[in-house]
Amino acid sequence: MDDSRKALQAILDIISFDKLLAFATVCLFAWLLMVIVQFVLKQLTIKLPKYRLLWSRLYPFARLFVWATVMIYTITEIIDPHENLILAVIGSIGIVLGLATQEPAKNMIAGLIIMITPPYRVGDMVTLSGHYGEVIQLDWSVTWLRTFDDNTVMVPNAEALKTAVSNANSGALDEMVVVTFKLPISVDHLHAIQLAKEATQCSPYTFLDKPITVNIATDYQYGEHLITLTVKAYVMDIRLERKFASDINFRVLNAFKQAEFYSVSTSETIDAIN
């Protein structure tokens, strides 16, 4: 009976007004600190957008660190419970929460793994669960993506770890973009390669520090032999990926039409280009 009474008294001590107030104060400070960190990182992103991926990656770590510190501080300094009580509470709560929140707990652990050994980071262009987009936020339990259609997609972290992840830029601002063109087999393929390469070079969004490659292959479709040209070039900023792909298409098509690679009448188009 004495032990039970002591345990009850210990629990009552934990939920005393003073301790609750101290806990609330610590949480408030932590929240304020996180707001300041967020604000400073945002200012840095505005000031130095070249390093925006770095600034956005710092936030999840800062949050993890701050809240872990809050938890440790609260348990060791504010609550300071008897070790038997810790074991009893952890055991009881663990069983209940484990059963009730199996999926969220799984996601949170997956989130922790993603933060420690990241298959992707904030700012990367990834394919997660069939959705392609930029990682805009990395929470404990979910990852937020922004697709090119401006949709925000939430992917549970456990799901992200379960399936293969395709990462297009792996932490860099530039990213490879691949555009394919089909040409009739009769065209001068050497000239076509030169035109495709130069037209890609002319795009103001091309990251010229990395090579532009044009690969050639043949294909047979609709009873016709075709040349397939694959242009591989790097865009200066991952956010311009679609714009860049469209720009390459526009320029290379213009060049091919001017060279009269397509058999259709193109006089109007050439006039428009000129």
Backbone angle region of 8, left / alpha / beta, with phi > 0 → left and psi within -120 to 50 → alpha: alpha
Decide if residue 41 touches other proteins (CB under 8 A).
Answer: yes
d(CA 182, CA 42): 44
Decide if residue 247 touches other proteins (CB under 8 A).
Answer: yes
d(CA 142, CA 138): 7
Helices first, then strands: H and E counts in the chain: 9, 8
Nearer to other proteins, 128 or 196 (CB): 196
User: Helix 52-73 vs helix 17-47: angle between axes, to the nearest 10 degrees?
Assistant: 170
Q: Which residues in 195-214 contact other proteins (CB under 8 A)?
A: 195, 198-199, 201-202, 204-205, 207-209
Q: Please, are residues 186 and 225 in contact by the beta-carbon 8 Å criterion?
A: no
Q: Which residues in 130-189 contact other proteins (CB under 8 A)?
A: 136-137, 173
Q: Please, are residues 247 and 199 in contact by the beta-carbon 8 Å criterion?
A: no
Closest separation in Å from C-beta 202 to other proteins = 5
Find the binder of other proteins among 6, 24, 27, 47 (CB under 8 A): 47
Q: Which stretch binds other proteins (CB under 8 A): 31-39, 72-80, 104-112, 261-269?
A: 31-39
Q: Which residues in 112-141 contact other proteins (CB under 8 A)?
A: 122, 136-137
Q: Please, are residues 117 and 109 in contact by the beta-carbon 8 Å criterion?
A: no
Nearer to other proteins, 137 or 213 (CB): 137
Q: What are phi and psi of 44, to 5 degrees?
A: -65, -35
Q: Please, are residues 231 and 212 in contact by the beta-carbon 8 Å criterion?
A: yes
By CB under 8 A, how many residues form the interface with other proteins?
Answer: 32
Find the binder of other proteins among 9, 25, 49, 80 (CB under 8 A): 49
Q: Which stretch binds other proteins (CB under 8 A): 37-45, 67-75, 82-90, 215-223?
A: 37-45
Q: Apex CA 265: angle with CA 260 and CA 267, to 5°?
A: 75
Q: Which stretch binds other proteins (CB under 8 A): 45-53, 124-132, 163-171, 178-186?
A: 45-53
- Residues contributing to the site for other proteins (CB under 8 A): 35, 38-39, 41-43, 47-50, 56, 59, 122, 136-137, 173, 195, 198-199, 201-202, 204-205, 207-209, 236-237, 247, 250-251, 255
